[in-house]
Amino acid sequence: MILLQVIVSGLLMGSVYALFSSGLTLIWGMMNVVNFAHGDFVMLAMYVAFFAFTLLKVGPLLFVPLAAALLFMLGVVVYLGLVRHVVRGPPLAQILGTFGLALVLRYAAFWAFTANFVSLPDNLVGGTFDIGGLRIEASRLLGGVLALVITIGMHLILTRTALGSRLLAVSEDRSAAMLMGIRPDRMQAIAWGFGAASTGIAGALIALFFYISPTVGESLALVAFVVVCLGGFGSVPGALIAGLAIGVIEALSGYLIGAVYKDVLVYSLFLIVLWVRPRGLMGTS
Amino acid sequence: MSLLSVRNLSVRYGDLVGVSDVSLEVPEGGVVALLGSNGAGKTTTLNAIAGLVPTAGGSVTWQGADITGRPAFAVVGLGLALSPEGWRLFVQQTVEQNLRLGATVLADRKRLPVLLDRVFTLFPRLAERRRQRAGTLSGGERQMLAMGRALMSDPKLLMLDEPSLGLAPAVVETMYETLGRLRGEGLTLLLAEQAVELALEVADYAYVLQTGRTVLDGTAAKLADDEDVRRIYLGLETE
Amino acid sequence: MKHWPIALAGFVAIAAWPLLVHDVFLQRVGALVLLAAISASAWNLIGGYAGQVSVGHSIYFGIGAYAALTLYTELGWPPIAGAPIGMVVSMLIAVVIGTPTFRLRGHYFSMATIAAAELARILASNWPLVGAAVGLMGPPRPRSVADLSFISPVPYHYLFLAALVALLGLTWAMQRSRMGYYLAAIRGGDRAASSLGVPVLRYKLYALLLSAAFTSLAGSLYAVMVGFIDPESALGILISVKMVIVAALGGAGTLFGPLVGAIILVPLEETTNALYGGSGTGITFIIYGAIIVFVARFQPGGIAEIWRKLTERRPTRVS
Amino acid sequence: MFLEARGIIKAFGSFRAVDGADLDVTEGEIVGLIGPNGAGKSTFFNCLAGDTQPTAGTIRFLDRDVTNATPEDHARFGLARTFQVPVTFEDMSVADNVMVGAFLRHRARAAARRVAEEVLDFTGLSALADTPARSLGTPGRKRLEIARALATEPRLLLLDEALAGLTPAEIRLAIELVRRIKARGITIVIVEHIMEVILSLAERAVVFHQGKVIAQGAPRAVVDDPAVVSAYLGHHMKRVRV
């Protein structure tokens, strides 16, 4: 029973991982750009949620969309102002560009909000459910389910709508997309917006049950990188499966061999997978 | 007045010469063939007209307006569609998605189902495979899809780059029959082709390119009898 | 080496620095510049010359630092004795990490190096032998000169200068040898390099071995000077990032680029830290970040690129 | 046999770019690989150069099986190549680019330097030795690639469209260079789009069409071969009035 409890909470966390990884995988897959500031996007979204709640007194119903909107704008600005230019440069420039951005965001938060951990009140979303003996915190349930819905929604947008089709067209063949009358730069700015917005939603949801600090993005980003590498670059379903798997593995290893070693296990697994399958578990060559 | 008029076009890739002096006229409703061997500059010419590669000199005039240097996404909206070399399909997406992408610039979205129907009537095979990924199609089907996709923007002028390349003879026949039908519907065509005989059968007028220049032009009937065509193609007696 | 007079003047200035300034803060900055230059120059061997952007070099830095202080805490040896051991261990780890990851391209390689370094940090944080999350202390007071424990930064300045000169001398010789040409070819493109008979994987590994050894040395020297390390200060991801930034700012893949980068960034960091005190690290990294965003966006070749453009005779377009 | 390729097949999914091609090269000759777009000659070339491994078939060079050898092994065995789109080492000078090749057989810098200087002189690049490769134009890059390959002291040189995009004057210079390379005793296999080049340069032309060799022989005879004419001019050969 306890094991089941652990697995369920792993799945709920995993679906949040899946959501914030899907933004990263979208950008990575579309442009072969790694956003090293991804974790800091999550961090900013968490602070958006926190301040929306403490200053504006609004609940998740409002602060989740707010975080999505703000992060969408951030994504577009970052693409137009920085990424669009560094992708043309050497690989080192890409890494430096987004890493530099990460530092600026992280330490601007540090400077503005101090290093103190803050968190939203536990009871912001309901208490705890008891489903057939399984105890599930409402905040985690909300976060997990919503994340799952949004990840699947994002996949549907990409595969079932004209916009998604155009986004994919640009990543498949930029010139051919132009021949269709598609403006590649506009599509990629939108992709960055979407990627960042989904990250924003994920961050706001995580804020419901996770501590908030300027450096929280660092470890979360690593999880996202692992998820994306395992799931295959550019694959939202891959991110979903890998995200759930990582969530469960973390929860199980935390329960079975101790919390500190769960990261060790995840990173080791990641390295082993890269070693065996250099393009990820579900990646295509 | 010509629908499309290209004057002294030159394109350079860095310092490589893509084409150095190409001039051609495409009259409304006509079928013009661009002939020449590998590397003569046919593809470069079409790509430059479509706005895929920047021009280094010369001009492209469309319905009397200078469109030289417009980016490809703007050119297609004017009514010039290109089915590019190698098809350049979106292989991860379905046949229908590819076709719908072709209609991106369509202002009147109500026309979309009509155009889709037209393509499916022209190419019943595509209708059968509309939910299949483009990557799973055979060579002939890919060519149909590339052509269909270009038609979805409802162009006045359709440019085709090597429609017969790599296709089995029977498929080529069908392809050219379709071109004949499109022509009958009043579509203007500009095709680059290595298969001379075929191209001259369907075209009214042809230009022959050699090392980036238009070296010969004339009515299809005249060129079909021209000894120079063979010389240019096979590089005989060039000294 | 057209510009050797400038290099010589620079060297003299750096050598004379602690004698010219009497302010301990400035002397300390001088020593820290050299230390940062050592680790960035070491990273430069693989990240700059061979073009393999590792963002996990903290692992080698940490091994060096931990080797120094673990030998002291466990066996009572002078910390500097850990330096050679750290270098050997680092090279072994480099083989373990390099062999599989060099097959990865571009970002995958960078990601894998980050993961490996992060793994090391977590392990160190939970390993009682190396002080776990608390860290390790060096000798509280010098037992002999071998402990290299000085109050004044000046001895460190010359210790670091010697190490840096050795490293740059080695880099210079490497640059001129077959290996230097092969690494430059690899950076120019694996495919073309191997078509000319360059054993790409093997040379990447050679570069990583050298790089890891000297990064480890930098870690040991850091531990010797500061006398205290913990997982964050010896294995944190920022250690790796700083190496990349310092080298890239000055010019990755150039002999003096990392030194130039260190001369600009370290004083900046120390000054902002001094001005804004403990919480000032925020400001430091905001400036750091802004600089590298700026460099990536406008000057991806670093300062070396500007220098090259200034000094190079305008190339006439030739066919 | 100097170079011998037997039954080479290279498939990408269900599509066979090369579909059972054979090629024999004797020492000292210049062989031209020609064919219309998409005929498979470039893929075949890449199999010879070790850049890609054939799905089936064997390649032997100097009685050694090199079918699955790495590109660096090819270089070591004496099989050098140039690329269709030149991949010069941009950050290095022209001379240093050539040095990379020269280091293959000469470990010492001075010896490598001597080889490089000789090759630069031979290819007419001496005056540009200290120029950065990035400031070269494409004709210069193509020449530099040839120089770099020559510095590895090959027995066989594979040229991948070394003349495409050059002006007629540049083509004449390049043809002259290839002839002098042959005079040094180096065997040459050249893939070329431009028929004129093959006609004036190659001693033997091998014509590809749809992944197969459809004709080979003296270039002027080959272009009169009905199968070749049909491959180039189209399917309705019977009615072409020439």
Q: What is the pLDDT of residue D238?
A: 37
Tell me if A109 is assigned to some domain.
yes
Residue C256 has pLDDT above 70, yes or no: yes
Whole-number percent of chain B with pLDDT over 90: 58
∠A212-A215-A217 over CA atoms, to 5°?
80
Quick check: is A43 in a domain? yes
Contact exists between A and D (3 or more beta carbon pairs < 8 Å): no
Q: What CATH code would you report for B1-79+157-233? A: 3.40.50.300
**Is the Cβ of D231 closer than 8 Å to some Cβ of chain B?**
no
Instruction: Using a CB–CB cutoff of 8 Å, tell me whether D184 touches chain B.
Output: no
Q: Dihedral angle at the C-alpha atoms of A126, A127, A131, A133, nearest 10 degrees? A: 180
Higher pLDDT, D44 or D167: D44
D172 — contact with chain C (CB < 8 Å)? no
| Number of Cβ within a 10 Å radius of residue C298 | 11
DSSP A82: I
- Decide if pLDDT at C318 tops 90: no
Contacts of B149 in chain A (CB under 8 A): 180
Average pLDDT over residues C114-129: 89
Residue A266 domain flag: no
Q: What is the mean pLDDT of chain B?
A: 88
Q: CA angle, corner B156, sides to B151 and B158, nearest 5?
A: 50
| Residue A239 located in a structural domain | no
Q: What is the mean pLDDT of residues D105-116?
A: 95
Answer yes or no: is A180 within a domain.
yes
Q: Do D96 and C184 touch (CB under 8 A)?
A: yes
> Could you tell me which of C190, C196, C200 has the C-alpha nearest to residue D158?
C196
Query: What is the band of C278 on the pLDDT scale with cuts at 50, 70, 90?
Result: low
pLDDT at C316: 45
pLDDT at D237: 37
3-state secondary structure of D227: helix
- Name the β-bridge partners of C318: D136
**Lowest model confidence (mean pLDDT) among A212-216, C303-307, D231-235:** D231-235
Reduced to 3 states, what is the DSSP secondary structure of residue A212? strand
- Please state the rounded mean pLDDT for residues A35-64: 92
- Across chain A, mean pLDDT equals 87
Options 3.50.50.60, 2.60.120.260, 3.40.50.300, 3.30.230.10; CATH for D1-78+155-242 is 3.40.50.300
Q: For position D222, what pLDDT does the model report? A: 86
Give pLDDT tens digits for C182-239.
999 999 888 999 999 999 999 999 999 999 999 999 999 999 999 899 998 899 888 9
Domain that holds residue A101: 2-216
Residues paired with residue B122 on neighbouring β-strands, in sequence order = none
pLDDT tens for residues D145-166? 999 999 999 999 999 888 776 7
Q: CA A3 → CA A137, A138, C206, distances in Å?
A: 16, 19, 48
- Which residue among A101, A225, A270 places its CB closest to the CB of C293? A101
Which of B77, B141, B154 lies closest to A178 in space, CA to CA?
Answer: B77
Ranges of CATH 3.40.50.300 domains, chain D: 1-78+155-242
Q: Helices (H) and strands (E) in chain A — how many of each?
A: 12, 2
Counting the structural domains of chain A, the total is 1
> Above 70 in pLDDT, residue B15?
no
Chain C interface includes D83 (CB < 8 A): yes
Q: Please, what sign has the CA dihedral across residues C298, C304, C309, C315?
A: negative
Structure tokens at A33: 């750009």
Residue with tokens 């917006």: A193
CA atoms of B20 and C113, how far apart (whole Å): 49
Whole-number pLDDT of residue A278: 67
Which tens digits make up the pLDDT trace of A135-160?
Answer: 888 888 888 888 899 889 989 998 89
Averaged over C240-266, what is the pLDDT? Answer: 91
Reply yes or no on whether the pLDDT at D86 is more than 50: yes
* pTM of the full structure: 0.86
How far is the C-alpha of B90 from the C-alpha of B99, rounded, in Å?
A: 10
pLDDT at residue C151 tops 90 = no
Q: Is D195 buried (19+), middle (13-18) or exposed (0-12) by CB count in 10 A?
A: buried
Q: Which of residues 150-209 of B touch D (CB under 8 A)?
A: 162, 164-166, 169, 172, 194-199, 201
**Six token digits for residue B111:** 């026309």
* Top-confidence range, A248-262, C262-276, D59-73: D59-73
> What tokens does C6 get?
């400038």
Does the structure show a pLDDT above 90 at C181?
A: yes
Give the lowest-confidence range in A56-60, A188-192, B47-51, C210-214: A56-60
Domain presence at residue A113: yes
Domain ranges of chain B: 1-79+157-233, 89-154
Neighbours of chain A (3+ CB pairs under 8 A): B, C
Q: Which tokens hold the place of B6?
A: 């290209």
Structure tokens at C147: 């402990």
**Tens of pLDDT along D176-185?**
999 999 999 9
Interface with chain B: mutation pick from A180, A182, A236, A285, highest number of B CBs within 10 Å: A180
Q: Which domains does chain C have, with CATH numbers?
A: 4-311 (1.10.3470)
Token pair, residue C269, equals: 């960091």
CB contact, 8 Å: D72 with chain C?
A: yes
Mean pLDDT across chain C, nearest whole number?
88
Would you state the pLDDT for residue C281?
65
Is D74 within 8 Å of C188 when comparing Cβ atoms?
A: no
- Is C114 within 8 Å of C55 (Cβ atoms)? yes
Angle (CA) D73-D79-D84 rounded to 5° is: 105
* Cα(C66)–Cα(C230) distance, integer angstroms: 9
Which strand (E) or helix (H) includes residue D171? helix D168-183
Residues with Cβ within 8 Å of residue A222, at least 6 apart in sequence: A39, A267, C114, C115, C118
Ranges C246-255, D117-126, D133-142, most confident: D117-126
The H-or-E segment that residue A15 falls in is helix A2-31
Identify the DSSP state of D104.
T
Distance of CA B221 to the CA centre of its chain: 21
HEC string of chain C equals CCCHHHHHHHHHHHHHHHHHCCCHHHHHHHHHHHHHHHHHHHHHHHHHHCCCCCCCCHHHHHHHHHHHHHHHHHHCCCHHHHHHHHHHHHHHHHHHHHHHHCCCCCHHHHHHHHHHHHHHHHHHHCCHHHCCCCCEECCCCCCCHHHCCCCCCHHHHHHHHHHHHHHHHHHHHHHHCHHHHHHHHHHHCHHHHHHCCCCHHHHHHHHHHHHHHHHHHHHHHHHHHHCEECHHHHHCHHHHHHHHHHHHHHCCCCCCHHHHHHHHHHHHHHHHHHHHCHHHHHHHHHHHHHHHHHHHHHCCCHHHHHHHHHHCCCCCCEC
Confidence bin at A274 (pLDDT 50/70/90): confident
Lowest mean pLDDT among B93-97, D55-59, D222-226: D222-226
Q: How far is CA D105 from the centre of its chain?
A: 21
Q: What are the residues whose beta carbons fall under 8 Å from the beta carbon of B60, sequence distance 6 or more?
A: B4, B5, B6, B9, B48, B49, B66, B67, B68
- Whole-angstrom Cα distance, residue B86 to residue B146? 9
Residue D39 is classified by DSSP as: S
Residues of C in contact with A274 (CB under 8 A): 100-101, 104, 108, 111-112, 115
Sign for the CA dihedral angle at B169, B171, B177, B182 comes to negative
Question: How does pLDDT run across D4-41, given as a tens digit for each residue?
Answer: 999 999 988 777 888 899 999 999 999 999 887 778 88
**Does A222 fall in a domain?**
no
Q: Which residue has the higher pLDDT, B222 or B167?
A: B222
Q: Is B50 in contact with A179 (Cβ distance < 8 A)?
A: yes
> By the CB < 8 Å criterion, does D104 face chain C?
yes
Q: How far apart are CA D236 and CA B195, in angstroms?
A: 9
